[in-house]
Amino acid sequence: MKITIYFTVKQNEMVQLHSPNYPNLYPKSIECIWLIKAPSGYSIQFNLTQYTALNYHPQQPDMRIWRSNFNTNVTCQNSRSILEGSIAFYDGNNTDVEILERFCHNLKQPEVVTSTTEQVIFFFTYFIFHMFFIYSIFSY
C-alpha cells in the first residue's frame, strides 16, 4: 500500500505526524510519503515525541516516551536509498535530493531541523509491522 500526504505547517503552529494506523501498530507492506511545507522564510523542525522500539518479543513492543537527555547514534550507515523500517528526511520537495537524516526502527533521535521551507519524509516497511512513531512538527 502506498500513501502520500501533503500539508502545510502554518507560522508558529505545531502539528503531529504519526505512523500509519496510529494509535495501533503500523501494518507491513506500506510506503508513506509526507510532503510538508512551511511559510516562505520559515524552517521546519521535527521532534520525536513517542515511539516503540524492537523488543526481544515482537508481540510486546517496548513503548517509550522520548527523553531529551538520552543520547544515541542516529544515522543509519547504509548507502541503500530504501531501508526496511526506516524514516528518511529529505531537505526539499522530492526524494531525488540528498537525504538530510535517516533513522532506523531501532534508533531514536529527538530533533531534525530543515534548511528549506519544504520537507519530504519517506517511510517504508515490508516485513516489520509492530511499531509506531509520533513526530511533533513546528515551523519557525
For 80-113, letters b (16+ CB in 10 Å) and e give eeebebbbbbbbbeeeeeebbbbbbbebbbbebe
What's this model's pTM, rounded to 2 decimal places?
Answer: 0.71
> What's residue 3's pLDDT?
84
Share of the chain residues as helix, strand and coil, in percent rounded to the nearest 5: 0, 45, 55
Q: Are 110 and 68 in contact (CB under 8 A)?
A: yes
pLDDT for residue 5 is more than 80 = yes
Name the residue with higher pLDDT: 19 or 79. Answer: 19
In DSSP terms, which residues pair with 48 in a beta bridge? 135
Q: Which domain holds residue 99?
A: 2-139
> Could you give the number of structural domains in the chain?
1
CATH number of residue 79's parent domain: 2.60.120.290
Min mean pLDDT across 46-60, 68-82, 92-106, 118-132 is at 68-82
